[in-house]
Chains A and B, each alone.
Chain A
């Protein structure tokens, strides 16, 4: 019987079987950030242990650092500086690589790792952060871990892992024009449900997935944790190899050739068996926007807020009613008429060059509605610099967007900057939980295109209308 790509990588990393379905797995790369990484390093040192291979460990400052201009170690979050200083000191003491506040390689951990060639096909990578699943887009096995596991992997270069089941999601055919990887991610979650992939490694396959560029694949894989998946994975191909070639930590010279020859073997065999296999037709996927407080509560942007009967297979009456009352929406209301207060482009889901370029193309020559607070936060310092070289910053600024330093920013509220209570935000992020972006903030997840179009109209808006309309 054939093997899945996942099994090939897993077996190559299995140091020992520990019984009860648990294996000791070799970990090739560890990523840390200042919100959880500093704690792990400090606690490791306090217990008298050392980092086994510091060269394989990278840390960045993304979660707590401010993204306003002229930022420093002093943050809007009252105790943020403690996290920054602790991470800096602990990184130095442990001898690991830190992309500090003013380092040109700084950025959101899941944005910089592919950008720097830290995640590689066939490699295992972990990070104490649930959106580590994004990085499976490059054909590596990358997953989020807890605090104790972070210490474990730092100390031993391995993890004790319960082998996940496998689930393949095949997207056949083509996505329609104006439909993005973000819409696809939201569509899959609304179909499969937010616990639909619990305990499974999720492999995305099919023509519509192969057609996606690497950055779009990162967006798709980013939201696998919103399905409860162990992680997501896409078999590496020529697009991935050419994306990685020449990047800072990617192999060079003869090692590059050797690596690529091995990476070409990472695919699921035709006769490989998945524990679950589902198929979605690419043509069926519309632009989506979330209406509730869970990513599975999403619907086509040109339709209404669903009736309870439409979602009753997944949400109980209580959960449905609570979501609508939190979001201050009513069933049947056309989604694209809902007025907004704010628009946010950023986060590890959608803050890469391609995202900013597509949003800027819509914003060019247009203005954000006067009452809308609009913010663009590039995913990394490198993205920001590149965007500025292309003049995108001017387009955002002239349209009325703020143009920020890179970081997680208002993707989540950790006690620092946030949107206001009851403010309605259209956002390119990945979680619309209650108070995720600020106390009592109402978040609508969508693509960067939808965020840009909504910012211009001042209400949730279908970007396809804007793309057709000529610029005045």
Chain B
């Protein structure tokens, strides 16, 4: 995964409460056997004029030229509620979103963001949306600043911060303990041999 240190970009204002995972990526857009190919379906219900279509809805914020290539998304309360589908985080990441700022998050969605290299920040989006120009999110300093002035501090658990800074996922972290796990299994094998004596045929 791509590490995150500093992200500088326009912030896309989509300050709506209760954006559920089905709005982020409708189930009809999850047709493939892969984590990729989802970015076209991101916010499909709002982004296109017709269900299943690809004609851009000119009124939707993502479609204007102002936010082309923007990496920061501003949203409201309870971001990512609904089904626990991880496709929501995959679609955002593939589209190029690196930071999601919300008034509050659904915990499963938030965890999925961290796992997939997206920085979730709990903050009031309104003052950030008022920033004219670009925002800079500095993960090392835990600080958001507006290039026109204004700074806001934010918090994040140490492990999540380290993972995002180093571009690691939880599998990398756990694999650092591979020897410990192998030793645990060896001891367990004598106590519960039937758990291990399986033949895959």
Contacts and interface: CB of A to CB of B under 8 A. Distances in A.
A86 B144 CA distance: 43
B201 interface: yes
Contacts of B177: 15-16, 24
A75 interface: no
Given A16-B177, A82-B33, A156-B178, A146 B194 contact: no
A39 B33 contact: yes
A157 B185 contact: yes
A146 B184 contact: no
A203 interface: no
Given A43-B34, A86-B33, A160-B170, A155 B197 contact: no
Interface stretch (A49-57, A287-295, A460-468): A49-57
Contacts of A122: 192
B174 A160 contact: yes
A83 B33 CA distance: 6
Contact of A120 (B28, B32, B194, B201): B194
Contacts of A250: 194
Contacts of B174: 24, 152, 155-156, 158, 160
Contacts of B194: 120, 250-251, 255-256, 258-259
A43 B35 contact: yes
Contacts of A26: 181, 184-185, 188
A196 to B, nearest CB: 18
Contact of B34 (A28, A42, A151): A42
Interface in B22-75: 28, 31-35
Interface in A17-76: 18-20, 24, 26, 28, 38-39, 42-43, 47, 49, 53-57
B112 interface: yes
Interface in A249-267: 249-251, 255-256, 258-259, 262
B130 interface: no
B157 A20 contact: yes
A316 interface: no
B27 to A, nearest CB: 9
Given A15-B184, A26-B184, A39-B33, A146 B112 contact: yes
Contact of A55 (B84, B169, B178, B200): B200
Interface of A: 15-16, 18-20, 24, 26, 28, 38-39, 42-43, 47, 49, 53-57, 78-79, 82-83, 86, 95-97, 120, 122-123, 146-148, 151-152, 155-158, 160, 249-251, 255-256, 258-259, 262, 415
